[in-house]
Structure 1
Amino acid sequence: MCPPEHFTVEYAINPWMDTTVPVDPALALKQWHLLRDTLSDLGHAVHVLDPAPGLPDMVYAANGAFSVDGKVYGARFRHPQRAAEADAHRLFYAGGSWTYADPLHINEGEGDFAYLPGAYGGLILAGYGFRTDPAAHAEAQEVLGRPVVSLRLVDPAFYHLDTALAALDDRHITYYPEAFSPASQRVLAQLFPDAVIADRADAEAFALNLVSDGHHVVLNTEAMAMGEKVRAAGYTPVHVELSELKRGGGSVKCVVAELRP
């Protein structure tokens, strides 16, 4: 995670960003700390990436890379405003025991990649259509040695995979079907017939931008309806207020890069 010490909305690169509405920096930082403390209280180790001036979206740490089995596929951002974030993430992984691969193709890390280690022997779901190039999916498969299923996103409001789909545990997902092309909807229905299905209200509440440890599902407080859906599926919802960070087009998952050693 990376604290939003420099968080502002000074440009618009997704439909949720409105440069005419000022950000409350103190509230954004307070909400970020609440999420970090919530994850710590649930027993998870949280590593903190130092924020850099001039990179207001660095708080969305999930976009900086994608890790599987100690291997890291780095990010290459589509928009120049975020390009330098990739370097900060590269330095973080260089300080550990990770095997890091610089990408040739545009991709935005966990924003467009999800991993289910218990599904089909270990499956990567990958989104494209707005940010990540489809060629990055093949590149990630070569780097990470796991099969990649490409899914086409068609609604600009859900520009990253992690705004339209989430892993609930090692084998199960939740998703909003209409965010995907008809063919991708058929693929998801075939692969995950027991998925928790979200509706548009859930998706617009960023309810699918969640983090789950297989037991606890951490969602924002706007996502109460989705909280009840995951509870009915056997998980425990944990709600955290992240209204200020939604101004930049992200919620719980965008703020958390999951490390898979």
Structure 2
Amino acid sequence: MTVLDTRLSPRPARQARTRHYVMCPPTHFAVEYAINPWMDASVPVDAERATVQWDVLRHAYLALGHRVDLVSPAPGQPDMVFAANGGLTVGGRTYGAKFRHPERQAEAAAFTAFLRDAGHDVVDPAHTNEGEGDFLVLGSMILAGTGFRTSLEAHVEAAEVLDRPVVSLELVDPRFYHLDTALAVLDDGTGDAPADIAYFPGAFSPHSRRTLRDLFPDALIVSELDALVLGLNAVSDGLHVVLPSAAIELAGALRDRGYAPVPVDLGELLKSGGSVKCCTMELHA
């Protein structure tokens, strides 16, 4: 058994809540450069298959009753399909993205324009951050990753812009370059059930592991095996957890915990180091 359930309290009833997502079609998706350990420009990408896989994900959200808005893909931006990185929106206000790598920097303006057109108050960032790639929202706090793509200064800036407490977590394994590759929010704690997360401890510094243990003593601890298929790059509505189909043991642990796993195959997008959550920006109420 490689997935350990450390839950200490009785299992609560799980309840779904309708969500509002933003996605970007993989029209220009390709692996043309390498900015994380998953990317290899010599490995071919099946663009047609990537589009089919992405569309299955979109229809999974629609079938669950969620709203999905689409951003128009920009030519020359192959990673724009990873919409989660385009900003962080809470309560109608958005903390904009400022990408670390030059290859992705033009994406920020495209997502900012989309969100402003949709009526959101977007604050342009002064510090490097990659949106929901490194910021995960719970009802009482925002968990924020640093170490590879998002600066600690951005954590402070996000807290000021969104008026929410931010908890900083240090990532130390380059395979898990964004927080959303190493930790998943299963329940944000805004309903009757307490906040609930799953994470892979090996992605974090010792200090951050202690922080997570203190904040979430009942968290679902995920194996390296499931983490390495980006099983934690998942999206939950509080009941249904949409996750990579290769994370088989994690799916079983989620069922035992009262969730309903919804497996999808995003194998082509994994070639760029992204999966379900990477493709999904959530506009948090």
TM range (shorter): over 0.9
Tell me the alpha carbon deviations over residues 27-58 of structure 1, each in whole angstroms, 9 at most, x when there is no partner: 00000000000000000010000101100000
1:56 maps onto 2:83 in alignment: no
How many residues get paired?
A: 257
The DSSP-based 3-state class of the residue aligned with 1:202 is: helix
Partner of 1:159: 177
Tell me the alpha carbon deviations over residues 92-121 of structure 1, each in whole angstroms, 9 at most, x when there is no partner: 11112212110000000000000111xxxx
> How far apart are 1:69 and its partner, in Å?
1.3
> How far apart are 1:201 and its partner, in Å?
0.5
Unmatched runs of 5 consecutive residues or more in structure 2 = 1-22, 189-194
The DSSP-based 3-state class of the residue aligned with 1:154 is: coil
1:41 maps onto 2:72 in alignment: no
> How far apart are 1:71 and its partner, in Å?
1.2
The DSSP-based 3-state class of the residue aligned with 1:58 is: coil
Partner of 1:73: 95
Larger relative contact order, structure 1 or 2 (CA cutoff 8 Å, min sep 6): 2
Tell me the alpha carbon deviations over residues 183-229 of structure 1, each in whole angstroms, 9 at most, x when there is no partner: 00000000000111101111101000000000000011111111111
1:208 maps onto 2:271 in alignment: no
Tell me the alpha carbon deviations over residues 220-247 of structure 1, each in whole angstroms, 9 at most, x when there is no partner: 1111111111111110000011000000
Paired residues for 1:121-160 under 5 Å: 122-160=140-178
Normalising to structure 1: TM-score of the pair? Answer: 0.97
Equivalent in 84, 104, 123 of residue 106 of structure 2: 84
Partner of 1:242: 266
CA distance in structure 1 between the aligned counterparts of 2:90 and 2:237, rounded to whole angstroms: 15
RMSD: 0.6
Unmatched runs of 5 consecutive residues or more in structure 1 = none
Aligned-pair identity in percent equals 58
CA distance in structure 2 between the aligned counterparts of 1:28 and 1:18, rounded to whole angstroms: 16
CA distance in structure 2 between the aligned counterparts of 1:218 and 1:181, rounded to whole angstroms: 27
Q: Write the letter of the residue equivalent to 1:128.
A: T
Q: Write the letter of the residue equivalent to 2:123.
A: A
